[in-house]
Structure 1
């Protein structure tokens, strides 16, 4: 039997670990729900039938980059674009990119980091992957858009994620 102080410390450590795990699970569940809502609302705004493989979320301050605009215009039509900015800018970008552009303000409230960045949200089976370095990612894809949604661009990252989930 351990001394009373050690028992209390172990109990406290166990309670803290359990509380941390439950908080993580709650936040992960909320994030998945927000991403599902993002995919549904973005697909409806862009007139995409079915579930898109990816959604592009663009901040207003990044929308003027010419290379990003060229890549967005070349991206598949099944990839809805959501702009975090004013409605008039979304209308201008829709005309410039030749595709419908939804507004982040029309999506559900909350989201924190999901509202603040420029990223691609990619659906891979039942999970989501966020690519925050959007410009290099899209440049790397070039015209080979078909690989998105099938397999991760980084086999090492998938292998590491698989080890974490075991």
Structure 2
């Protein structure tokens, strides 16, 4: 009897090694964390812009916050590249956060456009344009990274959502061009 128990135990051990080692499952929360960190930095840039308009901070504060926004987006792109693909339900769950982000970016661009006369007076309009262009480039890269992680049937939808964000940034670029 002991012999059969030993053979059975060895069989179980051998079978467990024969199974593929599962990779860590990336969750929707990791993708939403990327979007949330970008939204948080958009809020920082927007606050800096409004404070600049009010005359309580220098334009360099806005520039520093804008540079950090590009860094946050680029970091998000790098992170998304390491995540596993999303299933359909998780991909659909990203719609609302991305739409919220597009609205936040739209509000920021509105404020940046409102601040244009002050940026021009202070000789910072070229810096603002360069920042907006960097943000658009970074956002496009992030959109491509996320779109690659959604099921093929939803890639068109993902690209349309991403286009909302880049269209908002393009409004700012157009205003400063």
TM-score relative to the length of structure 1: 0.28
Higher relative contact order (CA 8 A, sep 6+): 2
TM-score, normalisation: structure 2: 0.27
Higher strand share: 1
Q: Which has the larger radius of gyration?
A: 2
